[in-house]
Amino acid sequence: MWERASHALAASASSAVRIDLAFKAFFRRVKAGEKPGFPRFRGWGQYDSFCYPDSGHKAERTGDKGRVFLSKIGRVKAIIHRPLEGTVKTCCVKRTATGKWYATFSCEVEDAPLPALDTAVGIDMGLASFATMSDGSEVANPRFFRQDERALAKVQRRLSREPRPATDVGRPCLSLSVLRVDHRAGS
């Protein structure tokens, strides 16, 4: 019972840490004679992330399926793209503008020395080709950003041609598609 309550307190402590940082910065500015910039009230929709500092989380993977256990939330289906190595220290859960949720695990891993190699290669990063090796081979530049930029311009043109309704009730699906392409271009 006490352990479960401590997990919820740990997750809610992240908002207390944010408040503490805001007030420390405020008093530092007051002391330095700068414009103070008072800490503002942050409503329930203000933050898109929360953290579990030490406990109250774990990731389970069986075959292709994965689940993340979050205290006070429960087991959540997840795509765990690689196994966790070392000791899990923190778990931060974040919501993107498109409504997707991501869990980021910070792990403490033992230092493992890399094997010594006798071969060496020089790499030149460039604009025309992504990389040119010292042996003359080239890696082509994929230009993902340019592709996403064109897709974003296309979706934004479609959104701007739509007649604007009295309320924004009729536009969410198009504006969500703009957000999706924008998110893809940004990451």
Contact 108, 89 (CB under 8 A): yes
Quote the tokens at residue 137.
């081979």
Residues facing 58 on adjacent strands: 69
Residue 29 has pLDDT above 70, yes or no: yes
pLDDT score of 31: 92
More confident residue, 7 or 26: 26
DSSP 165-180: PSSGGGSHHHHHHHHH
Contact 54, 71 (CB under 8 A): no
Band (pLDDT 50/70/90 cuts) for residue 168 is low
Nearest-angstrom CA–CA distance, 108 and 18: 24
The answer to whether the pTM exceeds 0.75 is no
Contact 120, 132 (CB under 8 A): no
Nearest-angstrom CA–CA distance, 66 and 78: 5
Backbone dihedral angles phi then psi of residue 157, each to the nearest 5 degrees: -65, -40
